[in-house]
Amino acid sequence: MLFDGVCHLCNGAVRFIMEQDPKGRIHFAPIQSDLGRRLYSQHGLNVDAPETLLLVTQERAFRESDAVIEIGRRIGGLWKLVVCGQFIPRAIRDAAYRFVARNRYRWFGKREACLMPPPELRCRMLS
């Protein structure tokens, strides 16, 4: 999962997903890293103005609300219920996603540089 490494909301989401995914099925890279920049741009996204998380799997890449739904599916448990969101038309759920994404720095803040995860979670970070 590629995420905005300077965004407080995005970093919180990464920590939350790591806690909910103890089997370590999902790995992470900040968009600002070399790997993140390469993958994000390969999928036609602007690395200098990140506007969506990107979940890259062997099958395909997911963005916006599709990424959130796929993450819920992959971490399982009660979070699989997020899959019910696919019954909401994509235009509506992506508009809601973009609204939060546009306001995330104002509402949650941002850092000047990416945070380093604690040592016990560094193995989940891709480089």
Average pLDDT per block of 10 residues along the chain, 127 residues long = 94 90 90 94 95 95 96 87 90 97 95 69 71
Domain membership of residue 6 (yes or no) is: yes
Note whether 26 and 1 are within 8 A (CB): yes
Domain membership of residue 126 (yes or no) is: no
Domain membership of residue 35 (yes or no) is: yes
Domain membership of residue 127 (yes or no) is: no
Q: For residue 63, what pLDDT is reported?
A: 97
Q: How far from 17 is each of 43, 96, 124, CA to CA, in Å?
A: 23, 20, 11
Domain membership of residue 124 (yes or no) is: no
Verdict on whether the full-model pTM lies above 0.85: yes
Q: Which residue range is the domain that position 34 belongs to?
A: 2-115
Kindly tell me the sign of the dihedral angle through the C-alpha atoms of 83, 84, 87, 92: negative
Total of domains in the chain: 1
Domain membership of residue 53 (yes or no) is: yes
